[in-house]
Chain A
Amino acid sequence: MEVLRLQQQLIELTNSLFQEGFLDDQFTQIQMLQDEGNPDFVQEVVGLFAEDSERILSELTKALEMEPVDFKKVDAYVHQFKGSSSSIGAQRVKAVCVDFRAYAETENKEGCLQALQQIKQEFFAVKSKLEALLQLEQQILAAGGSVPMME
């Protein structure tokens, strides 16, 4: 049955996201805030996170291209990114932000550039997985099923 297959996929994807450290408990908190009165809450938060992150990444790229680099500005952007990734539970993105801030604090341009690359990778990875998760949920609902609640 289609619904069963989709539900199984969703469970597997969700489990791997947590096991591989892409997401932490904060994402579960976000899911728990979704209810009948706010059925799109997770989708909205993910959407805001994606938009905001892309803005920050663009600003960071520009800031690191400046001569000389304004490391305080870089640090401010990374601080923002750390905050938003923490709020959504994007654990791996948050971890790179911590390293990134250390490089900014020591004004290590090379380190910052490396961290920026890493953060882009982690962000795009978690973004596409979250989008896949949301899509599966939509498909399940469209097929008349209910979204399994994770323990």
Chain B
Amino acid sequence: MAGGCFLYSESEMGSASVSSSQDDFPVHVLAVDDSLIDRKVIERLLKSSACKVTAVDSGRRALEILGLGGESINSVSAFEINLIITDYCMPGMSGYDLLKKVKESSTLKEIPVVIMSSENVPNRIRRCLDEGAEEFLLKPVKPADVNRLRGHARTLQPTSDCTCDDEVASTMGRSLSLDRRRQLSRTFFS
């Protein structure tokens, strides 16, 4: 039975149950939305699901944070972000544009991107999924949606952050190198 490091892969494969040790996995989400109210709500939703959150108001700002915008002042290392959740309709750079930029970047393309929209437009949804979005959520986002998102979050955390239970640790070996974890996660996610 896979332990804390691999449970999101179970949910990726459609397992209905969410194990409590999945909550031990530290997920840092970059949330992008031009609406102040929506930012506040999504931040609270994510935090109450034990995620760490960085919330920004534009795609441009998001890319700066991820180190793509030119200046990297106060940028969070791209490796710290496990998931990007972005609104679709934003002035300037849309969520779709941001998605494209992330997927075109060799350093960022592994980061799962989830799109949110208040409008249910099939073409829009298809475009986003085709461009590599993990999921398309209709607003307002629900706690159940957020719980499910943890399953999309990638692991690139060093093993010291991992709180696998002892049974797993002894079976799988307590120290998994970053490369090995990436290899395993690719196997599960591909």
Chain A residues within CB distance 8 Å of chain B = 26, 29-30, 32-33, 35, 38, 41, 44-45, 48-49, 52, 79-80, 82-84, 86-89
- Contact residue among A29, A49, A83 (Cβ-Cβ distance under 8 Å from B118): A83
Q: With A and B bound together, what is the CA distance between A86 and B45 in angstroms?
A: 16
Residues of B within 8 A of A45 (CB): 37, 40-41
Q: How far is the CB of A23 from chain B (nearest CB, A)?
A: 13
Most chain B CB within a 10 A radius of its CB, from A35, A41, A86, A87: A87
Q: How far is the CB of A76 from chain B (nearest CB, A)?
A: 8
Cβ of B139 within 8 Å of any chain A Cβ, yes or no, is yes
Interface contacts beyond A33-B48, A88-B37: sample of 20 additional A-B pairs, CB < 8 Å, sorted by A: A26-B140, A29-B140, A30-B41, A33-B41, A33-B44, A33-B45, A35-B48, A41-B44, A45-B37, A45-B40, A45-B41, A48-B36, A49-B37, A52-B36, A79-B89, A83-B38, A83-B139, A84-B37, A84-B38, A89-B140
Chain B residues within CB distance 8 Å of chain A = 35-38, 40-41, 44-45, 48, 89, 118, 139-140, 142-143
Contacts A26-B140, A79-B89 given; does A87 touch B44 at CB 8 Å = no
Most chain B CB within a 10 A radius of its CB, from A26, A33, A38, A79: A33
Contacts A26-B140, A87-B35 given; does A82 touch B118 at CB 8 Å = yes
Q: With A and B bound together, what is the CA distance between A147 and B142 in angstroms?
A: 23
Interface pairs A-B: 7 shortest CB-CB: A33-B44, A84-B37, A48-B37, A26-B140, A83-B118, A87-B140, A87-B37
Residues of A within 8 A of B40 (CB): 44-45, 48
